[in-house]
Structure 1
Amino acid sequence: MKFSRTSKSRGAGSPQVTGFYDDDTGSIQYLVSDPETMKAALIDTVLTFNPESASTDTRSVDAILRYADHEGLEIVRILDTHPHADHLMASSVLKDRLGKPNGIGEKVLEIATLWRDYYNLPDAFDPERDFDCLFQDGDTFEIGSLPVQVMLSPGHTLGSITYVVGDDAAFVHDTFMQPDVGTSRADFPGGTAEDLYESLQEILHLPDETRLFIGHDYGTDYRSEPAWESTVSEQRRHNAHIGGGVSKEAFIKTRTSRDDTLALPDRMLQVLQMNLRAGRLPAPEGDDNRYLKIPLNRF
């Protein structure tokens, strides 16, 4: 893990947010906490996965848990915004270790149906077994004294969700990137640029100074270090793909043209088979080893 960075609470009703950068995948993992009660939640955590050796370890989440313990935080929820295609989710490992509920958007049920076909594994995925909470658009819950509202934000996937925490923080996953980069791809099965545009517009209707925390950053030619925090007003004015009031038609053209140039993430076909189980590895076979099934020539 290269580094972490904390966005301080602005006062009552405002969470404190620490982002932990995962070098291998450019993913940001979040620890969001309520300063009043010292309760916290983890969002989009990463179980380290080496695609060359097909091996896993818990170094990334171990470091986050040590940080939370040092800060005196009690983790009460384990949350994901969608079944990730570029990193292995740590949801199942953390649920087993901490004994706390995990959650994701309820449309993971539809995503699982889609991918059962791609993998030809008709009985493979049971999100209702592997996730304690399947959130619907508009659902609410609390992290300590902080209210959390769930927004359905499809486009990158058909079931992506945003968590709006307290008065001034939203975890917007693979919708926006940093303003100087633009937006996230929308060409995975079930995703569309049209849906992504509508999701971006809904996020832009949050209050101007809402802090937006994104899912990925890789730096740029002009910015060597990754960054992951902006505001609604910054994205509205300066986002490279949608800032300044770009029309829906122009955005779809830009996003689709960009997506046509992108390769699949190098971990996608491996990790989705586990992420649709909350990151749980396949069951051991007769030789006590675990195996993945990878579709050939389908993408």
Structure 2
Amino acid sequence: MDEQICAGRTVIVTGAGRGIGRAHALAFAAAGAKVVVNDIGTTLDGAATDETPAQQVVAEIEALGGQAVANGDDVADWDGGRNLVRQAVDTFGGLDVLVNNAGFVRDRMLVNLGEDEWDAVVRVHLKGHFVTMRHAAEYWRGESKAGRQVDARVINTSSGAGLQGSVGQGNYGAAKAGIAGLTLTAAAEFGRYGVTVNAIAPSARTRMTETVFAEMMAAPEEGGFDAMAPENISPLVVWLGSAQSASVTGRVFEIEGGKVALADGWRHGVAVDHGARWNPAELGPVVADLIAKGVPPESVYGA
């Protein structure tokens, strides 16, 4: 049994019916948390099904002696996000941690990408993070104003596709980059209420990655360490959800297998101040010099 570093805490995990989200839900339960398992049971591209993966995960948690409840709200729907937070508070008496994980992909080269494919992916990833954070933050602000101590956490899910770009995933990458930026803003705004906000950019074998990285993410031989198992991602998320992480906020962590890295993000780079408006014809050598002095960008995945 894992050390119970989240004992007594109530946690929402979105998209927790399968893959990384399921691993998060089970890991939080093992760490002593009460878990709201959110999942609407869609296919890889977001189409509705009759499956009930959230309830199956709840059954797994209860079989291990934990406490959990299933939720089927759409996280990108305004009322759905409100209901999700309300269910956590009504069922378990409060909310301490929000893990935004839900999402799906509709991969296509930009030149072939349809408007509906763009809107659907940006909606569930980026708006889905905003909606749940908005309603959770409203609850935490109310608690803080009422004089009750808040020690809450938000853990968002970005991606290397958002941090470095990924060929064939323009919609997904843009949404994930937006989540990284949203995390920074939320961290700056929510701190006054006793809430930290961080993000992870995980790399693991899931329904969304198994076809894209099939060879790289192959399972190991029996007895070997499976570096691509989704369960490898959850220890960091559980720690970020615990009281131990109170001093960490506004950060993005890359995690794969047993490796954890702190993503550097966009920073102000080398600069040249002309002291006046530039003439366009002057800028060629200036830009060339800036690029020569700067740090080369990371390679785009698939380029």
The TM-score normalised by the length of structure 1 is 0.40
Higher helix share: 2
The TM-score normalised by the length of structure 2 is 0.39
Higher strand share: 1
Q: Rg: which structure is higher?
A: 2
